[in-house]
Amino acid sequence: MSTEPHEPEDVLDEELEDEEPEINGDSLDLEDDAVDVAADERRGPDKPRRVTLRIRRKLPGRRLDKYLHARFPRMSRTLLQKLIKQGDITVNGKPTKPSYEPDGGDRVVVVIPPPEPYDLIPEPMPLDILYEDDYLLAINKPKGIIVHPSHATQTGTIANGLACYARSLSHGDDPFRPGIVHRLDKNTTGVMLVAKTDETHWRLSLQFERRTVLKTYLAVVEGWPQLDADVIDAPLIAHPTMQDRFIVSITHPDVVRRISKHAVTEYEIVERFRGYALAHLHPKTGRTHQLRVHMSYIGHPMAGDTFYGGHHVSELSLTGRGSDTPITSQQALHAYRIRFTHPILEKEMQIEAPPPPELHRLIQLLREHRSLARQSG
């Protein structure tokens, strides 16, 4: 088997729609209007990288700077406009303007500047290690902590803790995400994979890209879902007025295709209670807040998820007595299990993360006080 490093960060694959996988540090959300037709030879981390795109069809109303920002979300529109004006982004070999609307057959060359020098600050922190070998490790991410910093001086993230814990981590184009193959939201707990070597990183990334990684989330949802299992295929868009919030797009199909992001979630109900249900959720795409938005969309938001229509749950509300303090301070969602092929050893892996105490207590109270068997008895 070849061990030559794969460069998915330069391969703009029209099939890849997940935001979650980190492709050697680059997370690309791609539509079918562009594919990569050429990439520069391997360059060092301090050298610029050139990517050539071919536009498949005319994009009416889509400015070049906005289009490229969607292709390269870590590059700001201000930076892209600067690169266009100084000639580092060309169309068909000629200088262009940020307002240019790409046409079918256009060849767009983007010279991506190297990242600024950095030093990720190692920071001691307790890490719940679920699995570890010479190539990768898996952690049980706690709530209330983000995965990686957004600037060199930020601390208190999982990446800072990993930099302190591990003797080696994979490198990538993003200096603030060493070892990070995929992410979890700040308040989502559970299993997360970390690559120790570059080969491990690109091989794991390829599994995420091909959607052969099977993820199972544990969630307590409100109400009585009509079906025991179903697939939610509903595209997501950013909320028009509320920052960091997403909604299901129900506009005209042509509009949906241009501005929304394909999102699919499978779910199955594994246990029912009076007023609640315990569900296994299987995301087939990796959109931000996807599981929370989808469950809210079908009328069953997650317990504790007030951002998407859920309600606080307390011992008093469940049992009629005790404290009215919310049992969980965030959505009742936990990345419970991940299945994948070991990128180096090529054996099937399944890693599970036990639920955090708050979620465990919530489920225990539901079983003790909201059991359907208890009601019928």
Question: Which residues are designated catalytic?
Answer: 185
What gap in Å lies between CA 158 and CA 147, rounded to an integer? 5
Residue 257 dihedral angles phi and psi, to the nearest 5°:
-65, -35
- Give the list of residues 6+ apart from residue 45 with CB closer than 8 angstroms, or none: 114, 115, 171, 173
What gap in Å lies between CA 367 and CA 272, rounded to an integer? 9
Q: Give the alpha-carbon dihedral of 219, 220, 221, 224, to 10 degrees.
A: 120
